[in-house]
Amino acid sequence: MATIGKLWLRNASAWYVTIDGVQTRIGLKKNMTEEEAEVERAKLLLQNKALESGGTDAGDNKQIKLLFGLWVDHAKQASPDQLKEKYNKPRHAFLQKFGDTLAKDIKSWHITDWLDEHKSWGGATKNNVISVIKKPFIFCYEREIISRNPFAAVKRYDTKVRGEEVVISADNYHKLRTAAKPYLRDIIDALWYSGARPSELLEAHITEYDAAEGEIDKDKHKTIGKGKKRKIYLPDNIRKIADRNIANGNEYLFPGESGRPIKRNDLHNRLLDLKKKAGIAEEVPIMPYGFRHTFACRLIQGGIPDTHVAAMLGHSSTKHLHKHYAHTLAMAKGLRPSYERAWEVMATAARQGQGQEPAA
């Protein structure tokens, strides 16, 4: 096993350690504080002791941020895609909370409590965060750097669609679009008025668009296996957005700033940032699919038949609609007779106002 000496400063300009008698530079002083250099030395010690000796206690008494550093070094070579910003964001948030905690002290309930603190995260988002954060622990556990993986006992969350719980109010819709950049405002408006799945709009290509009819014909969609065609009709204000983007040379109807489509997870993160900028309370859920749920609920409340609502959402039947919007459907059906009676009352009043006798 290699012998790694203490950290030392050479010529007041660079941090060094001696490994088996060989002076090895860790980094320049101008780019690295002593604390950061010590972290790098600790990583060398940890990796050397664990990977060469196979000892299972090497990482248990080390800070979690050091274990993550080992995994990052590995990922740079083995799977650099795992270091994209969308994955780094939850890792950074986790390290802010637990980075200085020793590996032996982190428990599954610590992790679950931390996830539950994020009220705006749905079950799917929390599951994605779990998948991202557990990788360094799995990496270290499989290499016997740590003696246990705290994520082994962390249960995944229910990912059912939350329907009415994530409906976006008209007030919050206006706050979001007011705070958004023009390209994001276009996407928000398209989601609000179409009821389409976020990916259907984000990936809508010029080849799928019938400008004359103002409709998108999706070649690939969730119910294609059931023989259903998927058409998304756009109102005039959204057609103008699509037509403008095409006239500007874009291949996609609702592109991001780069002209390329935004990924759904990226849109989710941008909406979270936008929610904060717009001054919307943290506990209020704002997510891409919330626009679709809002569309469904408002149409049901507006008296549009459930079969039509299901077709507009691209569902193959009303089964999904009844599963996730049962309360709204029940309310709509319950109010219908009252509306019909109200219309009769008002029609009678109108006829009386014209000097006519009420109809029998």
Query: Which residue, 132, 25, 120, is CA-closest to 72?
Result: 132
DSSP string, 269-315: HHHHHHHHHHT--TTS---HHHHHHHHHHHHHHTT--HHHHHHHHT-
Give the span between the Cα atoms of 250 and 246, in whole angstroms. Answer: 5
pLDDT in tens, 269-319: 899 999 999 999 988 889 898 898 888 888 887 778 888 888 888 887 888
**Cα 233 to Cα 273: distance, rounded to the nearest angstrom:** 29
Q: What is the dihedral sign for C-alpha 287, 321, 231, 239? A: negative
Please, which residues bridge with residue 63 across strands?
A: 102
Task: Report DSSP state, residue 186.
Answer: H
Q: Give yes or no for residue 16 having a pLDDT over 60.
A: yes
Label the pairing between strands 209-210 and 22-28. unpaired
Q: Which two tokens stand for residue 108?
A: 């599954």
pLDDT in the model for residue 4: 63
For residue range 83-124, what is the model confidence (pLDDT) as tens digits?
887 788 889 999 999 999 999 999 999 999 999 998 878 787
Token pair 């998108």: residue: 216
Share of the chain above pLDDT 90, in %: 31
Angstrom distances, CA of residue 43 to CA of 47, 104, 285:
6, 17, 39
- pLDDT over 50 at 358, yes or no: no
168-324 topology per CATH = hpI Integrase; Chain A (1.10.443)
Domain 54-153 matching CATH 1.10.150.130: the answer reads: yes
- Under the banding of pLDDT at 50, 70 and 90, the label for residue 31 is confident
- Single-letter amino acid code for the residue at 292: R
Name the strands in the sheet holding 14-19, side by side, starting at the edge strand that comes first in the sequence: 8-10, 14-19, 22-28
Q: Looking at residue 353, what is its pLDDT?
A: 52
Rounded to two decimals, what is the model's pTM?
0.52
Q: What is the pLDDT of residues 163-192, one digit of tens each?
A: 567 888 889 999 999 999 999 999 999 999
**Who wins on pLDDT, 195 or 48?**
195
Can you tell me the distance from the alpha carbon of 55 to that of 53, in angstroms, rounded to the nearest whole number? 5
Average pLDDT, the chain: 81
Measured distance CA(314)–CA(163) in Å, rounded? 16
Higher pLDDT: 133 or 297? It is 133
Query: Where do the domains of the chain lie?
Result: 54-153, 168-324, 329-360
